[in-house]
Amino acid sequence: MRADRRAHPLRIGFAGAGMVAELHALAISRSAEAGLTAVFDPDAELANARAAQWGCRAHATLDGLLADELDAIFVLTPTEAHVETAIAALETGKHTLVEKPVASDLGELERLVSVADAADVVCMPGHNYAYVPELARMRRLARDGRLGDLRLLSIMFAIAHTEEVAGHYEGVVRLVLPHHAYLAVGLLGLPERVSAGVTEPGWDHLSQPDQAWMALDYPPHGTALLFATLAVDDDSADPWTFVVKALGTKGSASATWRSGIYEADAGSMATGYAAYEESYELELAAFCRAVRGEGSAIASTLADAVAVERVLTAAETAARSHRAVRP
Ligand SMILES: NC(=O)c1ccc[n+]([C@@H]2O[C@H](COP(=O)([O-])OP(=O)(O)OC[C@H]3O[C@@H](n4cnc5c(N)ncnc54)[C@H](O)[C@@H]3O)[C@@H](O)[C@H]2O)c1
């Protein structure tokens, strides 16, 4: 990968100007290393409004965005457009960050990986939770053997979403569980078997799933229990909201989004979680370091995205067939 030692801040263009773009824009506004230069959204009215709000140029087409003077493209489109958009960005020599899930299926993802491998620029998945300091520390402790033999990784996500917001996505499995999967892959690698369940959705009108779980087998001693619901909040004592715990024979570690909490003014969630918001800033800092030639700054790579896709596909098969599946 080519090291990039430009004097000016990284000039970033957004493909997609929806809810997640608000969080990336906030992170960029707090960074001295990057600036938001241009935005494209097929909803021209939205693109123009965002450009006015963020003080950048608006484009009516992807070609227009890619022809602009930019160093990097953030692919923030609905998932089904990620791969086409990212490939177009890479082919015009732009460093590229692709939101999660990186692709809709393994075939598409492998197509992107082969273009990214041949490109002389960065292609980084938007695996933002991997940059949360407590979760980076957990991975370090586990890799250094400080936690001993990891017996349990537990990840609980309980954040109620409105039906209006949930309607933007294809369901909880591909909206939330990718985060759980790359955290599990980062700590424990690819599991040997995946069991999973997806409940009947409880929405009034939507048909996409609102709650799902996966159990990952890491023989001989390890288990990961991964749960996500968009249906309910946890208002009880020591609420889960988003809690990760790793229990090992020599130690344990945890992370929670409850460490800083306030009214949200950006993104898809009604509550603001400091750790979540900051994850976009830390992810951006890692992206900028990777562009400068420090590939090791990428905490969760495209290879991890491939492992995530294998786990999610296995989970979907497992949920349908009521049996454990090898990813
Ligand atoms: N990392 C996270 O925690 C996180 C959180 C939310 C969403 N996401 C991911 O981000 C992506 C976008 O989610 P969102 O919440 O912004 O959704 P959204 O529906 O709010 O926004 C998507 C935007 O993309 C635009 N769009 C549609 N097709 C496009 C195309 N071909 N090119 C450019 N723009 C296009 C739409 O007009 C819309 O404005 C999804 O893949 C989602 O999984 C990640």
Dig out the tokens for 6 from the structure.
């430009």
Averaged over 288-303, what is the pLDDT? 97
> What pLDDT is stored for residue 269 in this prediction?
82
User: Which atom of ligand 1 lies closest to the CA of 178?
Assistant: 43
How far out from the chain centre does Cα 185 lie? 13
The answer to whether the CB of 91 is under 6 A from ligand 1 is no
The answer to whether the CB of 228 is under 6 A from ligand 1 is no
Burial group, residue 240, by CB count within 10 angstroms (0-12, 13-18, 19+): buried
Torsion of CA 299, 158, 165, 109, to 10 degrees: 30
Q: What is the residue with the minimal CA distance to atom 19 of ligand 1?
A: 168
How far away, in angstroms, is 157 Cα from ligand 1 center? 20
> What pLDDT is stored for residue 214 in this prediction?
98
C-alpha span between 233 and 214 (Å, rounded) = 19
> Is 173 in contact with 212 (CB distance < 8 Å)?
yes
Strand partners, 147: none
> Is 79 in contact with 308 (CB distance < 8 Å)?
no
Give the CA angle between residues 20, 101, 91 to the nearest 5°: 90
Q: What share of the chain is helix, strand, coil (3-state, %, to 5)?
A: 40, 25, 35
> What pLDDT is stored for residue 4 in this prediction?
64
Cα–Cα distances in angstroms (integers) from residue 31 to residues 71, 76, 96, 118, 278, in the given order: 16, 19, 18, 30, 11
Q: Is residue 317 over pLDDT 70?
A: yes
Which positions ≥6 away from 280 have C-beta within 8 Å?
23, 24, 26, 27, 128
Ramachandran region, residue 93 (left: φ > 0; alpha: ψ -120 to 50; beta: rest): left
Q: Read out DSSP for 51-70?
A: HHHHTSEEESSHHHHHHSS-
**DSSP H or E stretch at residue 182:** helix 177-188
C-alpha span between 282 and 298 (Å, rounded) = 11
User: Could you report the per-residue pLDDT of 6-44, keeping only the tens digit for each?
Assistant: 668 999 999 999 999 999 999 999 999 999 999 999 999
The answer to whether the CB of 79 is under 6 A from ligand 1 is yes
How far away, in angstroms, is 99 Cα from ligand 1 center? 8
When the pLDDT of each residue in the chain is averaged and rounded to a whole number, the result is 96
> What pLDDT is stored for residue 102 in this prediction?
98
DSSP, res 9 = P
> What pLDDT is stored for residue 1 in this prediction?
59
User: Could you report the per-residue pLDDT of 153-182, keeping only the tens digit for each?
Assistant: 999 999 999 999 999 999 999 999 999 999
How far away, in angstroms, is 241 Cα from ligand 1 center? 23
Residue to mutate, 22, 50, 131, 168, ligand 1, most ligand atoms under 8 Å from C-beta: 168
Q: Is residue 101 over pLDDT 70?
A: yes
DSSP, res 186 = H
> What pLDDT is stored for residue 268 in this prediction?
83
How far away, in angstroms, is 184 Cα from ligand 1 center? 24
pTM of the complete model: 0.97
Of 187, 275, 251, the residue nearest 223 (C-alpha): 187
User: Could you report the per-residue pLDDT of 111-161, keeping only the tens digit for each?
Assistant: 999 999 999 999 999 999 999 999 999 999 999 999 999 999 999 999 999
Characterize 142-156 residue by residue with b for buried, 16 or more Cβ atoms within 10 angstroms of its Cβ, and e for exposed: beeeebeebeebbbb
Categorize the per-residue pLDDT at 266 as very low, low, confident or very high, splitting at 50, 70 and 90: confident
